[in-house]
Amino acid sequence: MLGLKLPTDPRWVNIVEKNIEDILTDHAFCEQKAASTAISLIVSFPEYTELVQEMTALVKEEISHFKMVHDKIIERGWTLGRDRRDDYVIELLKFFPKGGSRTTQLVHRLLYAALIEARSCERFRLLSEELQDKELAKFYRNLMVSEANHYTMFLGFARKYGEKKEVDAKWQELLVYESEIMSNLGKKETIHG
């Protein structure tokens, strides 16, 4: 369903299990950044009323996810660590050239967001199936559904606001590019790395 060209190596879960505090901190910041992305889309493209409405709802949802992850950190007696550089997103942002029309910029941002949500969904599925910690496995199962909905929403908006054939071709190119990024990642205790 997600269309990802390179699945995550299941051994990534072994890294996660040895670094639960780190993965939860990274995950909390991913949720915060997702909320920030939605706010940024509202600020940058206010004339797209349907997008603004959906992004407003998404901000609330992502911030509630941040709180849920933060609560898990507190329950375990930890505090939220510091945000770290996200090599996955940094590399992903290199795919599209800067500039272009406002519509092109919007479509590119929607495609990035769709891919990040798709990869998060795939990683959450893996965590829900493989984590020994059954409470966390269930937690990730529930979040996986949200991520899938976000992925389809962003991709749907890209197809709505851009020319569908062009958007679909770019999406396929982006999926191939992302698989190359992923071939070098998956070795750290981060959601995308």
Average pLDDT over every residue of 34-48:
97
3-state secondary structure 43-100: HHCCCCHHHHHHHHHHHHHHHHHHHHHHHHHHHCCCCCCCCCCCHHHHHHCCCCCCCC
pLDDT at 186: 65
pLDDT class for 57, splitting at 50, 70, 90?
very high
CA dihedral for 186, 167, 45, 53, sign (positive or negative): negative
Which of the four pLDDT bands, split at 50, 70 and 90, describes residue 130? very high
pLDDT tens-place string over residues 76-128: 999 998 888 888 999 999 999 888 999 999 999 999 999 999 999 999 999 99
Q: What is the pLDDT of residues 134-182, one digit of tens each?
A: 999 999 999 988 888 999 999 999 999 999 999 999 999 999 999 999 9
